Amino acid sequence: MANLGKLWAGRAFGTNTGNLAITFEKDEEELEGTIRFADDDHGLVAYKVHGTYNDEIVLTGNSITETEGVEYGELTIKAALTPEGSIRGEWSTSIGSGGPFIAHPHGAGAVNTVKTDLEIEQFYTQSYTLGALSLSKDDVISLMEIVKKDFNSGGKLIVTYRNGGAEVTRHSKDFIAQMDALKKLNYLKLFIQEPDEFEVNKIVLIELAEHGINRIVVQGVREIWVEGKAHTLRSELTKNEKSLATNFKKFGLNLSQLALFVMIVVMVDVQSFWMRVGIGALFLALIKFVGWLHVTFIPNASIRLTNVKDTWITRWGASIFSWVSALTTTVIGGYIVYLATLPQQ
């Protein structure tokens, strides 16, 4: 097995946050060295550690820093070497503190592993726009749990909501305690972030609006994590999409394109230029009218935070109204065109 490497530096998170430096005097299967941790709030502490380097890096040790009235406890580290040559894992102490950490090799003798372009600071972003959604209380709680997955306990989920008045921002646990009193929301935003590698935060943002855009944004330094997280969240929300007439976009179409196709078919035998202009204007007006009906009467995001059982109206009413309005206006438009193109007696 290759030597682990003498010098490492990185960052620790959790109950304590700060920079850390690791120096190994022995860096083969048996490890011995010193860990220095500069706590952002409480200053510097050093630990003398020993352990093993096999499939997993395991270290234990006690503080060699003495501060009157302060107990540091025994330190335990369990970590693994990543494909990029970093050490990533968890630290904990016998007094209950702990959290994740990451360290990168420095200087001669660093472990010889495959390097990737992740050594350069960069991040990836994936975003999705969703159709009209209808969420219940259980749907919202399930969505929040999926958002928090992959984030450590130090990553706090922030919830911003509006149910008629000004926007309110709370931590997720406080929001859950208030859900029954809120009953229904017309705006909901979930946001969580925590430090990742290279001091770049990984972020998840979900924004749902009654009259606006429903979107998912995921950002991080790991492309595979960003893609996977965004896809998982989209799949979770897609289960709650309404079947509206505007959902032709799933098949590469939208209502405007479909109406354009019908208009072209209708106008093939129309000889008069002004008659063709009139038919085009009619179909444009119908498209705008159907769009106005959806914006006015069908919320893009319906979020109900009560345990009241759905009726068929709340479950299917919006979809039925959407399709009936689209089909009715299309039939009316087609009939008007038919009358306008009848041969003159």
Quick check: 310 pLDDT over 80?
Answer: no
* pLDDT for 295: 59
Return d(Cα 171, Cα 161) in angstroms, integer: 11
- Average pLDDT on 65-76 reads 86
* pLDDT for 238: 86
DSSP string of 253-295?
A: --HHHHHHHHHHHHHTT---HHHHHHHHHHHHHHHHHHHHHHH
Quick check: 31 pLDDT over 60?
Answer: yes
Quick check: 142 pLDDT over 90?
Answer: yes
- Cα separations in angstroms, 315 against 93, 136, 302, 327: 51, 11, 11, 20
How do residues 174-211 score in pLDDT, each as one tens digit? 899 888 888 889 899 999 988 776 667 789 999 998 87
Please report which confidence band the pLDDT of residue 265 belongs to, taking 50, 70 and 90 as the band edges: low
How do residues 212-234 score in pLDDT, each as one tens digit? 788 999 998 888 888 889 999 99
**Bigger pLDDT: 330 or 158?**
158
CB atoms within 10 A of CB 239: 10
